[in-house]
Structure 1
Amino acid sequence: MSDVIEFKSWVCVICGWVYNEEEGLPDEGIAPGTRFADIPEDWRCPLCDVSKGEFAAVEF
């Protein structure tokens, strides 16, 4: 059994933009490895400007 915690991807259900926890969003000050839950609540989708509440976890 591995102790490695899997990173997740989160998709905007409005426009389809994907946030990948492993990659982060360095251009917006979100370091690689930042969990979606740890992104500030006032963060907005960089493509369509909706709130974090419009994102859903996805598995590829």
Structure 2
Amino acid sequence: MSAYKCPVCDYVYDEAKGVPREGFPAGTSWDSIPDDWFCPDCGVRDKVDFEPVGVSQPSNS
């Protein structure tokens, strides 16, 4: 799963956690988030402005 960061306030959307208060349960992929979605913390940036910050890899143990 991936994570995406707001370049203004550093809020991070983590696909593994989702944003239940915004209606996106854990496991909601970034592609499933509407393009007109704004950062829930600062409300300034559109989804297109978020920057990918990492991909969590499944553990093999």
After TM superposition, the score normalised by the length of structure 2 is 0.79
Q: Would you say the 8 A contact 1:24–1:30 is kept in 2?
A: yes
1:23 partner amino acid? K
Indicate the residue corresponding to 1:51 in structure 2.
46
Deviating beyond 4 angstroms after TM superposition, the runs of 4 or more aligned structure 1 residues are: none
After TM superposition, the score normalised by the length of structure 1 is 0.81
2:40 is the alignment partner of 1:10: no
**Contiguous gaps of at least 5 residues in structure 1:** 1-6
**Contiguous gaps of at least 5 residues in structure 2:** 56-61
Q: What is the total number of aligned residue pairs between the two structures?
A: 54
Q: What's the Cα RMSD here? A: 1.3
Give aligned-pair identity as a percent: 39
